[in-house]
Amino acid sequence: MGKIAFIFPGQGSQYVGMGQDMNNEKEEIKQIFEKADSRLGYSLSDIMFCGPEETLKRTEHTQPALLTMSVAVLELLKSYEITPDFVAGHSLGEYSALVAAGALQFEDAVYTVRQRGLFMEEAVPFGEGAMAAVLGMESENLAVITEEVTAGGNLVQLANLNCPGQIVISGTAKGVEMASEKAKEAGAKRVIPLSVSGPFHSALMKPAANRLKEVLETIAIEDASVPVIANVTAQEVRSAADIREKLVEQVYSPVQWENSVRTMLEQGVDTFIEIGAGNVLSGLVKKVQRRVNVHAISNQESLQKAVEAMKG
């Protein structure tokens, strides 16, 4: 029997109505939404269930919403006694992974990611930063381009190394524009500007990281009960001190998602369970290694399917 990894989505997977069916089904899950509302001091669940989409899409709401959704789905899984050998999350999803590994309490995590969202929004005035997805180009070649543009005075860097041939760049609006043009000239298949509110996972986020560090110092973090594959290094972390440090670095460092998946594969993981909204990570895992089992669980129905497939 191979090993199981729980993986948790990040920003971009949100949708209005997420979690509503679960909220009506199970008292324990209702309590999760209530805990989030109570810790944040406003009705996050209302924004999740009813929108409007514009409000849900604001980073300060998106981040706690996706975390709450993942933790609610995690609660559904509890009755099936499926436990992970590893956990990992994409950017914001790392906080969900840390809740799953017992390193963070849910209420602390939901408060922290709301602050993280606010700090990230406030770090760079709207319109001054940008992000774009570059398809069909090797990371080494793209890194040469971003370094060249940055050296010329317009900061841009690799932000998300998602899977072979899909890399997100982040930086100043001008830097991203120049690097996008050069990437196309150098043979990238497509470059897609992303509709985000800031240049996440770039050095422009250092002010946000400094503010997040202060918040994290007030939050209790425990050693993880299962290995967490950190975005920053694509290696496992377990100690509370390491976890705290990596969460601060994560804000301005590239998300090493492809390498994180490879690390888990090397450790014998053959089943990846995506927990929360959407199935973005399932697609990325399949692009890294087609021959693994991947399940995306976002409600009772998808949970039943996954459980049956795993028993099969």
Instruction: Return per-residue pLDDT of the chain as tens, 312 residues.
Output: 799 999 999 998 999 999 999 998 889 999 999 999 999 999 999 999 999 999 999 999 999 999 999 999 999 999 898 999 999 999 999 999 999 999 999 999 999 999 999 999 999 998 899 999 999 999 999 999 999 999 999 999 999 999 999 999 999 999 999 999 999 999 999 999 998 888 999 999 999 999 999 999 999 999 999 999 999 999 999 999 999 999 999 999 999 999 999 999 999 999 999 999 999 999 999 999 999 999 999 999 999 999 999 887
CATH 3.30.70.250 fits 129-196, yes or no: yes
Where does CATH 3.30.70.250 sit in the chain? 129-196
pTM here is 0.97
Assigned architecture for domain 3-123+204-311: 3-Layer(aba) Sandwich (3.40)
CA 284 – CA 246 distance, rounded (Å): 23
Catalytic residues: 91, 201
Where does CATH 3.40.366.10 sit in the chain? 3-123+204-311
